[in-house]
Amino acid sequence: MKTLYTHFLKTIFLLMSLLLLASQNGAAQSCTALGDQASYGTGTTWIGYVYQGKNFDTYNGYVNEGSASSSNFDESFGGAYVNYNTNGCPVSTEGFSVRYKLTQNFANGNYLFTVGGDDGFRLSLDGGATWAINKWNDQGYTTTTYSVALNGATNMVLEYYENGGDNRISFNVTQICIGTGDPTVYGTGNIWNGYMYQGVNFDQYKGQVSEGSAAASDFDENFGNPSGSVVTYNTNSCSIQTQQFSARYRLNTTLPANTYTFIIGGDDGYRLSLDGGATWVINKWNDQSYTVSSYNVPLSGNYNMVLEYYQDGGADRINFSMTSTILPVTLVSWSVSELSADQAQLNWQTTNAVNFDHFSIQRSTDGETFQDVHTTPAANNGSSMQNYSYMDQYAYNGTVYYRLAMVDRDGSVNYSKILTLSLQSNQNIRIYPTVIENNCLFVESAQSISGAKLELFNMNGSKVNEKDWNVLDGRQQVSVTSQGNLPAGAYIARLSDGRTILAKQIIIIK
């Protein structure tokens, strides 16, 4: 009932306002709508052309907004359901529109425009040809921002309409600082180039900083804000506020052959790449209190390191450290190639062997779990160049992974990078199924194989079962638990006749 009564009062008021305007227009002393609807305001004072109707229907007169010192303004038209006076005729603040115009001279720089309205509003910086901000729809009071570089006279047009209820249009422009320099350039030596942004998603570039020192690339940065309060952090060009910001650090470095440990800590998100941001070896890109992550890897050569960080509130901190372990031997080259469908040729070259003992050649079919397949002792210790090779006979359908374990005399181990090779085995020989539920594995050969042997290994490389045939011909059933119960998990089944002719990973389930 109250709602109906309120609506009735609004309707009566609107009718009375329209009758009053009609009476004024029809009187001998009727009002005249002043202004040409085309001229722009100058300096920082807008000319606003006011219309009855939300689509600029009936022109009633003009108003001014802004001041001698600023073009910013916030207008509520005296409230809802009242008459708003112009230089000319008043309008009812229920279903009306305004077109503001201003030619303003901007010093060379970057500017942030913030426009708000209830209902629709839109802003043009080219005389109405295009709209930099466009929120032309019914809505409660809403603000929208737009940043742009300007230099010189700019013909601004700000349009507004009201379709019912509250009335408000606001305009604000401020000059903002945008960082100079190229944020894609890498630091060199041990000095990182750090590029700072306001916003957690690298939104507004503010400038460059440096981290690290001539002695080491390690650093620990809290941005002058260890307690979590908001402070100003300066760059080479603009400052940021330490609340919702991000940083991208870049460093190009050449690393001698060693095993490296990277330790990264951050509050909030952080991630580390060694290939220019293509992949992330450490990735903790989420809101969190201070957390530390590490990554250990053998490296040799030139790397484009990228360390990214963002802060979403509270304390600020990002730190980086890198340590290396001297390898017992320097691996100069390391390669693998296919000799035949079931033969892989592995070659490697070394120098600078110090207290070095042996190599363990390791193989994997999933790139994660490796088993030793051969041991090669060190030729000698010293600075001379040494060449090594090994032929691996391993029939397998799919990708095979190889790495070298380099073992020192004290038992410490370092690893080479992982190499891959795609092999295609003899299709006349089969081991199946891949998933075993009833303890039965089948071996099938299209031709007779003398002295055949089926071996079953766990993923640690230990033999857990073996079956021998004088002659293997056709299809044979083998119990995988003939040597006792085997736990569920992954195993390698290998069929050979003095050399490996087929190997396959199987899964035992219970």
Model pLDDT, residue 187: 97
304-337 in b/e form (b: 16+ CB < 10 A) is ebbbbbbbeeebbbbbbbbeeeebbbbbeebebe
Cβ atoms of 482 and 493 within 8 Å: the answer is no
Burial of 286 (0-12, 13-18, 19+ CB in 10 A): exposed
Task: Decide if 330-423 and 429-508 have a common fold.
Answer: yes
CATH class assigned to 2-176: mainly beta
CATH class assigned to 429-508: mainly beta
Model pLDDT, residue 485: 72
Instruction: State whether the Cα torsion 480-486-492-497 is positive or negative.
Output: negative
Q: Is 60 helix (H, G, I), strand (E, B) or coil?
A: strand
What architecture (CATH level 2) is domain 330-423? Sandwich (2.60)
Q: Is 444 helix (H, G, I), strand (E, B) or coil?
A: strand
Cβ atoms of 284 and 267 within 8 Å: the answer is no
Cβ atoms of 171 and 158 within 8 Å: the answer is yes
Domain extents for the chain?
2-176, 192-326, 330-423, 429-508
Cβ atoms of 391 and 415 within 8 Å: the answer is no
Of 476, 458, 459, whose CA–CA distance to 467 is shortest? 476
| Cis peptide leading into residue 433 (ω within 30°) | yes
Cβ atoms of 472 and 491 within 8 Å: the answer is no
Distance (Å, whole) CA 349 – CA 372: 20
49-76 in b/e form (b: 16+ CB < 10 A) is bbbbebebeebbbbbebbeeeebebebe
Q: DSSP letters along 288-346, please?
A: -SSEEEEEEEEEEEEEEEEEEEEE-SS--EEEEEEEEEE-SSEEEEEEEEEEETTEEEE
Model pLDDT, residue 13: 45
Distance (Å, whole) CA 482 – CA 467: 9
Those residues of the chain that have pLDDT short of 70 are 1-29, 226-228, 325-327, 340-342, 394-397, 424-428, 446, 481-484, 498-501, 510
Cβ atoms of 195 and 183 within 8 Å: the answer is yes
Phi-psi region of 79 (alpha: psi -120 to 50; beta: other; left: phi over 0): left
DSSP-based helix, strand, coil % in the chain, nearest 5: 5, 60, 35
Domain 192-326 part of CATH 2.40.50.140: no
